[in-house]
Structure 1
Amino acid sequence: MRAAHSTGEAISVNEIDEPEEYEEAADLHEYLAGPILTPPSPHAITGEMSPITRGHEFSGTIKDVGSGGFLAIEGDYQIIWLVVQEKHAILLPDEFPLDLGALVEPLTVAWYAASRRPIQTTRTVLVVGGAPIGLTMVQVFKARGAESIVVAEVSPLRRVLARKLGAADVVDPLTEDVVSRMRMMAGDAGADIVFECSGVQAGLDTALAGIQVRETATIVSPWEEKPVIDAFDMGLYEKHVIGSVVYDDGIFEAVVDAIWSDPRLMVTSKIRLEEVEDKGFKALINEQDKHVKILVDIPA
């Protein structure tokens, strides 16, 4: 079988044996700034090390049940074949499209992040950054009844998608003052809830400036550099910053049960496995005005 292998610095498609153990995952951030989670030496539990097979957002069909509670899963999008413990397999409803199933994982990241802050329908939410993390945050807050969601994003394509997915307003931070626009909508106090999804210093500055006194900004994005935070401003206005990453047990099931709109609007391209580096990772890096999510169509 074929697999897209990563060293954290490059991608190659190779023939490998069908897996007998669960394999580690990697993503775009690993490609850009890795190796971060790619183990350079054998992992203490799995024994895996670089190069590893990429992929952690996928769906498939159970083809075999092995001993010891393992399932063999065959997929159309993102994976060809995977062996996983039964307790880690989330069952999808009948007729649930597999390409939609491949988007459940990023939605789960957003669902968990949103769960860290109490949500009321009257609350105003500012999402800084409209890449996949930010767009999934919009969908989650829309589903949970937030009255007003504002997205700050530089890409015209992603601003359009943010509106389609439920944002009440979108702002281009390159041409407008996001904080001033936010206060026009929410009153001079600013946003009730802010999520930093850009992973850049300017985005974090906007997020912290946009929240109300004694409210909280949640950092969901991965970072390549150590950001700078104005401690005086944080202390003066009693602002809070928390982080959020991945999810807890039971979150996947909640997201599958609550699919509220079609997140496939975020899928801007489907490619073959052999194209994963040039038309996948490099396209996401170099053509951000054209792409949000790219699915790998394995059988193609």
Structure 2
Amino acid sequence: MKAALWYARHDVRVEDIPEPVPARGMVKVRVKWCGICGSDLHEFLGGPIFIPVDKPHPLSGEKAPVVLGHEFSGEVVEVGEDVTSLKAGDRVVVEPMRVCRPDDPDMCPACREGKYNLCTRLGFHGLCGGGGGFAEYTTFYEEFVHKIPDTLPFDKAALVEPLAVALQSLKQGDFSIGQTALVLGAGPIGLATIESLKAAGARLVIVMQRKSIRQEYALRSGADVVLDPNEVDVPSEVKKLTDGYGVDVSFETTGSQSGFDKAIESVKPGGTAVITSIWEGAISFNPNAVVFQEKKVVGTIAYRHLFPAAITMLADGRIKGDGWITKKVALENIVEEGFGTLTGPKKKKQVKVLVTPDSSLL
């Protein structure tokens, strides 16, 4: 079968690899659509970050080259022994968490507490080996394969994973109905965060986004105000919009020094800055920016127990996801038309590029 494999920075290749067979407790999925994630771009431009290179990942037992792709939907075509909740023909999305198994005698403390996204051996299907969504087929554990309703199209179902990321960030920020928020960046995770905030009852959602069509995407997703950091001092404008105080919670999705600084500066005394972005390297930080006003900076990684909610919210329209998908490409063209588009001069016109191994869907 065809699959896209990461070999090294700037080196992704579409190759023929063996078709997987579902082991005990695993499900084989025929991939319909898979989104190119910001994490995939980080691996392409500045990796390895999550991808094991020098030694095999402790759970997958594999190292680069690995199949990419973790935001995907598809159809079950075969189930392994002992699988009881799924059958061939089921429409599904995969929660791509590679974590301690329930019968693992060396289960880490986080997994024992049910906080599997904090697993000490955390990996992601489509990054750590063992298969991925940029392929015709993949296999994964039954408990992380979720059914989707017939009313949710396969392409929109590929947005479940980034939506779950946004929902986890709201949870980490202890966001409450009626609060105010600043979202830094209007890429895929930024847009998902905007819609999640509005669905959660945010009183005011401000977005920082440089001038591009993404400003329009932010407004369409529910932003009340969009600020261009090239035209205004964002923290000052945020304070003007919040009676001189600052927002309750900020959400940093840009992965930039500037975004990080503004995320902290824009929250009120005692407020919270949530860092959602994945970073390619270290940045500088003055702790006094937090200490003097007892601000909080919290990290958020992936999601836990949120796929069912994300599926329901997309299916019933509480989260519309309209306009998130800006381009669709065939798997064999993923390097040029996918990664090339998202790293090229017109990248700001794009939000989510979906990839399919089935050209009949294009």
**TM-score, length of structure 2 as denominator length:** 0.77
Deviations 1:145-191 (A, max 9, x none): 10110110114211110110111010111111111221221110111
Of the three residues 354, 357, 360, the one matched with 1:295 is 354
Alignment of 1:260-271 (within 5 A): 260-271=318-329
Structure 1 contact 7–35 (Cα < 8 Å) conserved: no
Q: Does 1:253 align with 2:308?
A: yes
Deviations 1:84-119 (A, max 9, x none): 221110110123100011110000011011012233
Equivalent residue for 1:38?
51
Q: Compute the displacement of 1:27 (Å).
A: 1.6
Give the superposed CA RMSD. 2.2
Distance verdict in 2 for CA 1:13–1:79, change over 3 Å:
closer
Equivalent residue for 2:19?
18
Distance verdict in 2 for CA 1:155–1:12, change over 3 Å:
farther
User: Helix, strand or coil for the counterpart of 2:181?
Assistant: strand
- Structure 1: gaps of 5 or more residues: none
Q: Which moved more, 1:27-36 or 1:97-106?
A: 27-36
Distance verdict in 2 for CA 1:155–1:86, change over 3 Å:
farther
Distance verdict in 2 for CA 1:119–1:36, change over 3 Å:
closer
- Structure 2: gaps of 5 or more residues: 29-36, 94-132
User: Helix, strand or coil for the counterpart of 1:212?
Assistant: strand
Equivalent residue for 1:279?
337
Number of aligned positions between the proteins: 298
- Structure 1 runs, 4 residues or longer, greater than 4 Å off: 70-79
CA distance in 1, matches of 2:134, 2:207: 29
Q: Compute the displacement of 1:71 (Å).
A: 7.1
Letter in 2 for 1:290: K
Q: Does 1:4 align with 2:4?
A: yes
Letter in 2 for 1:55: G
Deviations 1:44-76 (A, max 9, x none): 332222111110000001112221439778999
Q: Which moved more, 1:75-84 or 1:52-61?
A: 75-84
Structure 2 contact 92–147 (Cα < 8 Å) conserved: no
Q: Compute the displacement of 1:121 (Å).
A: 3.1
Of the three residues 15, 24, 49, the one matched with 2:63 is 49
CA distance in 1, matches of 2:310, 2:294: 33
Alignment of 1:139-288 (within 5 A): 139-248=195-304, 250-259=305-314, 260-286=318-344, 287-288=346-347
Structure 2 contact 273–298 (Cα < 8 Å) conserved: yes
Q: Which moved more, 1:45-54 or 1:135-144?
A: 45-54
Structure 1 contact 71–85 (Cα < 8 Å) conserved: no
Q: Does 1:128 align with 2:209?
A: no
Greater RCO (Cα-Cα under 8 Å, separation 6 or more): 2
Structure 1 contact 18–81 (Cα < 8 Å) conserved: yes
Q: Compute the displacement of 1:264 (Å).
A: 4.2
CA distance in 2, matches of 1:51, 1:225: 22
Q: Which moved more, 1:93-102 or 1:283-292?
A: 283-292
User: Helix, strand or coil for the counterpart of 1:195?
Assistant: strand
CA distance in 2, matches of 1:97, 1:173: 36
Q: Does 1:27 align with 2:40?
A: yes
Distance verdict in 2 for CA 1:101–1:74, change over 3 Å:
closer
